Structure 1
Amino acid sequence: MTTTHILNALPDIPRLYTAISEWLGCLVYLLAIGSRTSRLRMAAVLLPGLAVLVVVQYWAGTLPIAFWIISMCLAVACMYAIIMLASGLGALDGAYLLARAFVLAELVASLHWQLDSFMRPAGHGLYDPASLILLVLIYGGVGLLAWVAERRNFADTQPSVPGRSVFMAAVIAVVTFAMSNLSFVSTNTPFSGRVGLEIFYIRTLVDLCGFAMLYAQQEQLRESHTSAELASINARAYSQHREYMRSKENLEAMGRLAHDLKHQIAALRSQMDPERKSQDFEELEAAVGRYGAQQHTGNPILDVVMSTKERICSEEGITLTMVADGSLLEGMAPMDVSTLFGNALDNAIEALRKVKEPDRRLIKVALYARGQFVVIRIENYFTSPLNWKGNGELATTKTRTDGGLHGYGVKSIRHIAHRYQGEITLRTEHHWFSLCVLLPREGDQLKPMAASATL
């Protein structure tokens, strides 16, 4: 036979405190996702949201104990509405944040009430100055610690959590809530306590374990996302390098062919009537010259990449101009050279395919030294709107039809810049897009960081 008799039972957590803890849980995770939501929108939802949670909690306090679960579900629904309205996330991402916010709210409320009940002298009211100071310290301190711990997990990427992970987070939240409140339902179980402070200790400990499990889950998801992103960058780099090797072979073959054809054309010209054949031969010679021309920057890898992209630009009706001292890339790995310039020029060419005016289909490339830095600047005209993400990254406008390699061009360039202790900046002005890479030199060459020698 079950019993709900608890020795030295502590009073229930005040409804006002429960509402504040639930509101605080929502606030912590809305702040954790950072710039992906407007501060004004967040404030416009959170302020009335607190009032709604307080009303719901006090209304639930008037209901019979049999409706306790229903009242908790209503409070959780209010938390979900606050998160969705303030963040604009998708349904699954909002549910994932809700599970975490709910467990944090349970932990904060339980920890504060356990300490308050233990430390508050007999006869002192809930709203004595000392009790209010403890309330602010516990709620504010735990909320701040949770935000500091969680912002790294949500700062770089959208949650975009798989459905299975959302389900697991929900299960953890439900089990945590059930186990932490089991003693209030029945003290006659192997996992129940029978003394007031003991019950709150169990509740606080279970809530802390639930929070830790959810934190570990998000950490694992973040690491999995980072690993997948690095794998895609790595695949993109090898794809660019393979393109470079094929282009090198093709350019060498075309160079030999163009050289032979020029001699043959010269021989034919001397035998033909110049007045009748001159124009045809000039056009043929110009075409041969275009395919036989190669860039000479002082870096053989850059020569191949630029020559290949120049030929593509010529076929696309794009004007590519370049002023580059390839010798400044001394110390940069061949794969990094081909990946950096290949990705940057591919992005520029893709943008210019959408530009209709021939005189605006322009790409400018500059590679020069400024003090102890190497500056790489690639600019192109654009007309289509750019897709900026909340963290300042430039998202792709392409569809993922090639195995997921699209969208990682800029990230790959940034990864290479960081490898050589550099940084990149993206800027737009008057329909001109500018990618600038700044790399420090040690002596007369670039040096990669030892910890980042490979992708």
Structure 2
Amino acid sequence: MSIIWIAFEVIINFYEGFMETYFIYKFLPPKTESTKKNIIAFALCFCTLGLLITVMNYLTIFEGILGIVCYLMALFLYALVNRKGSIIKKLFAATVPLVMISLISIITLNFVSSVNSMSIKEIVTESGFARFTVLIFAQALFFISVKLMLKLLATTSENFNAVEWIAIILILAISIIMMFLLHLIAIDSTQRLYINLLILTIVAVNIIIFYMIDSISVKNNQKKELELLKIQEQYSHQYIENASQQYDSIRKIRHDLKDQLSAVYTMIVQGHADESMKYIEKYVNVISISESFVNTDNYIVNAIINSKFAVAATEGIRTNCSCIKSFDGIDDIDMLHILSNTLDNAITASEKITDESERFINLDISKTMDIYRIVVRNAINESVLKRNPSLKTTKLNVHKHGWGIKIIREIAEKYQGRCEFYESDKMFTCLITLKSTLL
């Protein structure tokens, strides 16, 4: 074997490692914004893969399961260290390029073997035109497949949840084992055409199953979005009703203002100062129920907090709010769901306390750098987490309720944040952090 041929095969091996790494690089977003670090990690991965492929080709004719496991570990380590995403998604990203190159190599080998009337072992071991054709044709197909797969996943992968990702990975793993076994049969078989047809059938089944999972996932997401829209509509109606009640209260207060002032004036003139002070205090309490508790630059935040605090006031619940002015980088609908659910839960819990003097709700919304911090505290008369650690709904219509906590957690995950619940000194605390989507 000449030095030129050896160099050619090594270049092919490193190119294959490059394309496998490239798939992960494009499919998963980076953990760091440092271009230098991302380039170094990319180069280390594809160079490691190139060396592994070269060494495995030198040690054995067919890498087999051992080679695939080594390549998978290298790709998965790169995804784990340098790219974002769940463990399942990273495992999928490491598996797909290996499945594609294995499939393409098997089909190409069998096709060229059939055309040239040569055994697969002869093609792999000899440095001739057949071997050259297999290498060039396989890598060209691999390049096209990677591009097409990335384009396909760009429009479908966001629909999948963890269970669906696991199903796809298992199907891919079973498929690659089946294709590898068929390849072993094809090495000494004269019926390579039928084996190729079986392999293509496996590919077709994988494609059909992938689209079926995607279709089911889309329908599930649509169903979920519909439920969210129903919840949003419910809160919108509730806000309109509360706003209407507040408006009626304000109109009544304005209408009665002249009479109230006349009554106070008369009591003062007649020397009933104490009675007039009590009368004014009672009148101020009525007005306070209709006042605005917060005034930010976001009308949805204003509407939700003011309407919920107005409801709390009618139930004898003391409220306190410390809030920032703007909420850049957070979707208005997401803020609606977070504030509606947390404040509803706080009001419900506070209503269970018999002594109204102990009822309170504290809302604190702050921002440090690009991280929003939402803290809702309320009084409790007994431990909620001990009695209901998973915070499942206790309402009768479970299919209509019990979405609140799940929605909050999903929104926190969407913004790379967290949602935590804890208790201390008869006080329940909900802590939510959200990362602004603005760069």
Moved more, 169-178 or 399-408: 399-408
**Partner in structure 1 of residue 367 of structure 2:** 383
Contact between 2:14 and 2:46, CA under 8 Å: does it hold in 1? yes
Contact between 2:23 and 2:97, CA under 8 Å: does it hold in 1? yes
Report deviation, 1:173.
Answer: 1.7
Offset from partner CA, 1:399-441 (integer Å, 9 cap, x none)? 996333437899xxxxxxxxxxxxxxxxxxxxxx999xxxxxx
**Partner in structure 1 of residue 406 of structure 2:** 404
**Partner in structure 1 of residue 92 of structure 2:** 96
Q: Describe the shift of the 1:210–1:72 C-alpha distance in structure 2 as closer, same or farther (beyond 3 A).
A: same
Report deviation, 1:209.
Answer: 3.7
**Partner in structure 2 of residue 179 of structure 1:** 178
Aligned-pair Cα RMSD in Å? 5.4
Q: Describe the shift of the 1:83–1:217 C-alpha distance in structure 2 as closer, same or farther (beyond 3 A).
A: farther
Q: Does 1:168 align with 2:178?
A: no
**Residue identity in the other structure for 1:149:** L
SS at match of 1:165: helix
Structure 1, unmatched stretches of 5+, are: 1-13, 295-301, 322-338, 356-381, 389-394, 411-432, 436-455
Q: Does 1:354 align with 2:403?
A: no
Aligned residues: 334
**Partner in structure 1 of residue 266 of structure 2:** 270
Higher relative contact order (CA 8 A, sep 6+): 1
Distance 2:287 2:104 in 1: 75
**Partner in structure 1 of residue 19 of structure 2:** 24
Report deviation, 1:386.
Answer: 4.0
Q: Describe the shift of the 1:310–1:289 C-alpha distance in structure 2 as closer, same or farther (beyond 3 A).
A: farther
**Residue identity in the other structure for 2:142:** Y
Distance 1:203 1:15 in 2: 28
Structure 2, unmatched stretches of 5+, are: 1-8, 119-126, 293-299, 314-318, 326-331, 344-361, 378-389, 392-403, 413-435
Report deviation, 1:49.
Answer: 1.6
Distance 1:137 1:107 in 2: 13
2:146 to 143, 146, 150: 143
Contact between 1:29 and 1:97, CA under 8 Å: does it hold in 2? yes
**Partner in structure 1 of residue 103 of structure 2:** 107
Report deviation, 1:249.
Answer: 3.8
**Partner in structure 2 of residue 241 of structure 1:** 237
Offset from partner CA, 1:371-400 (integer Å, 9 cap, x none)? xxxxxxxxxxx5345449xxxxxx988899
Q: Describe the shift of the 1:63–1:49 C-alpha distance in structure 2 as closer, same or farther (beyond 3 A).
A: same
**Partner in structure 2 of residue 51 of structure 1:** 47
Contact between 1:56 and 1:75, CA under 8 Å: does it hold in 2? yes
Contact between 2:75 and 2:94, CA under 8 Å: does it hold in 1? yes
Contact between 2:364 and 2:374, CA under 8 Å: does it hold in 1? no
**Partner in structure 2 of residue 33 of structure 1:** 28
* Identity across matched positions, percent: 9
Moved more, 173-182 or 28-37: 28-37
Distance 2:134 2:334 in 1: 63
1:153 to 151, 156, 160: 156
Q: Does 1:125 align with 2:123?
A: no
TM-score between the two structures when normalised by the length of structure 1: 0.54
Q: Describe the shift of the 1:138–1:33 C-alpha distance in structure 2 as closer, same or farther (beyond 3 A).
A: same
Report deviation, 1:146.
Answer: 1.2
Moved more, 30-39 or 144-153: 30-39
Report deviation, 1:172.
Answer: 0.8
Report deviation, 1:176.
Answer: 0.7
Q: Describe the shift of the 1:64–1:214 C-alpha distance in structure 2 as closer, same or farther (beyond 3 A).
A: same
Q: Describe the shift of the 1:249–1:177 C-alpha distance in structure 2 as closer, same or farther (beyond 3 A).
A: same
Q: Describe the shift of the 1:71–1:305 C-alpha distance in structure 2 as closer, same or farther (beyond 3 A).
A: closer
**Partner in structure 1 of residue 82 of structure 2:** 86
